[in-house]
């Protein structure tokens, strides 16, 4: 089964929600955990126990594991395996992007099931040219994995590149959206090449219809985006939107019951997105 088909099934069965696993130092301390690999392990174990059977996607942010060196990477390996065993889809937020043999090595590291860091999908940066990601996309197809390509991010600096006009008169971001749509063409129920679009970008004139792939939309909740705003932003593409939140859920920890209650509340709010 392709990644797109697996993700569609998970979203239909569990609701369209991605929860980020972002164990920054302040959050570890707020949970009364040590700010080291031991605290990191306990944090991730609690999140997966609480949400691994409850949400469609869990998204570890690699940087918060890398900061602890090899011990942190070992926790990331454990977390990816635990997510898989709980039945959720793992989306590793690494935002990798390079050319040639280097991006091929990233593909082996993160999308080859033989790798201890293998995830169901990863985030990637296309700003060395969308074509530079082809080795990632090829391995994703071979291994039934997914790639979420940065298109429109919510940070103000992103506009300088993403909203720039190309020789065709289109924006860089729109050309990325169109390249992803070409990669997804003909796939049913949707393709495996997703895009990342900040939930708080507002109306920018970009077109999401016809993507035929998932749209990861960070910014739900604490960053200000609401389900109604998502529906207004994405229009007919709303059923393929995977809203992502982290603080709105993780700040309710460390209790398993309170984490689950936070997710249940958000699930109820998201019913308008797919209605």
- Domain-by-domain residue ranges, the chain? 3-200+222-274
Q: How confident is the model at residue 275 (pLDDT cuts 50, 70, 90)?
A: low
At residue 113 the predicted structure's pLDDT band, cuts being 50, 70 and 90, is: very high
Q: Which of 99-108, 140-149, 213-222, 242-251 has the lowest mean pLDDT?
A: 213-222
pLDDT of 228: 87
| Tokens of residue 53, six digits | 């059977």
Q: Which residues 6+ apart lie within 8 Å of 255 measured at CB?
A: none
Average pLDDT over residues 98-119: 97
The answer to which of 45-54, 146-155, 220-229, 263-272 has the lowest mean pLDDT is 220-229
Instruction: Retrieve residue 45's tokens.
Output: 């174990």
Q: Which of 116-120, 143-147, 198-202 has the lowest mean pLDDT?
A: 198-202
> Any idea which of 147-151, 195-199, 269-273 has the lowest mean pLDDT?
269-273
Confidence of residue 60 (pLDDT cuts 50, 70, 90): very high
Share of the chain above pLDDT 70, in %: 98
Instruction: Give the tens place of pLDDT for each residue, 180-192.
Output: 999 999 999 999 9
Catalytic-labelled residue, pool 24, 67, 95, 247: 95
- Residue 69: phi, psi to the nearest 5? 70, -150
Residue 272 binned pLDDT confidence (cut-offs 50, 70, 90): low
Q: Alpha helix locations (H) across 185-251?
A: 227-234, 247-250
User: Average per-residue pLDDT in the chain?
Assistant: 95
CATH superfamily label, 3-200+222-274? Aldolase class I (3.20.20.70)
Contact 233, 218 (CB under 8 A): no
Q: CA–CA separation, 252 vs 196, rounded Å? A: 26
| 274 pLDDT higher than 70 | no
Is 95 among the catalytic positions?
yes
13 within 8 A of 234, measured Cβ to Cβ = no
Give the residue among 100, 105, 6, 25 at the shortest CA–CA distance from 63: 25
Please check whether residue 18 is in contact with residue 47, taking contact to mean a CB–CB distance below 8 angstroms.
no
Mean pLDDT of 70-81: 98
DSSP letter string, 132-201: GGHHHHHHHHHHT-EEEEEEE-SSGGGHHHHT-B-TTSSBHHHHHHHHHHHHHTT-SS--SEEEEE-TT-
Q: Collapsing DSSP states into helix, strand and coil, what is residue 269?
A: helix
């Amino acid at each position: 089964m392709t990644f797109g088909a697996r993700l569609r099934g998970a979203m239909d069965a569990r609701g369209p929600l991605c929860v980020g696993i972002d164990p920054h130092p302040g959050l570890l301390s707020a949970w009364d955990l040590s700010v080291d690999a031991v605290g990191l392990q306990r944090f991730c174990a609690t999140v997966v126990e609480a949400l691994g059977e409850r949400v469609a996607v869990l998204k570890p942010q690699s940087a918060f594991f890398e900061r602890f060196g090899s011990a942190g990477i070992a926790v990331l390996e454990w977390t990816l395996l635990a997510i898989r065993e709980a039945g959720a889809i793992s989306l590793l937020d690494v935002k990798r992007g390079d050319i040639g043999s280097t991006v091929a090595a990233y593909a082996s590291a993160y999308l080859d099931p033989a790798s201890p860091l293998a995830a169901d999908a990863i985030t990637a940066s296309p700003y060395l040219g969308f074509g530079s990601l082809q080795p990632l996309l090829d391995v994703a197809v071979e291994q039934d994995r997914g790639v979420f390509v940065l298109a429109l991010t919510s940070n103000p600096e992103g506009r300088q590149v993403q909203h720039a006009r190309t020789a065709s008169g289109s924006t860089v971001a729109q050309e990325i959206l169109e390249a992803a749509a070409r990669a997804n063409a003909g796939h049913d129920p949707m393709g495996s090449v997703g895009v990342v679009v900040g939930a708080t970008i507002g109306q920018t004139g970009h077109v999401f219809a016809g993507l035929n792939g998932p749209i990861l939309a960070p910014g739900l909740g604490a960053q200000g985006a609401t389900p109604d705003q998502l529906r207004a932003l994405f229009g007919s593409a709303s059923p393929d939107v995977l809203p992502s939140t982290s603080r709105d859920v993780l700040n309710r920890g460390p209790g398993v019951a309170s984490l689950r209650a936070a997710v249940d509340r958000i699930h109820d709010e998201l019913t308008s997105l797919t209605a």
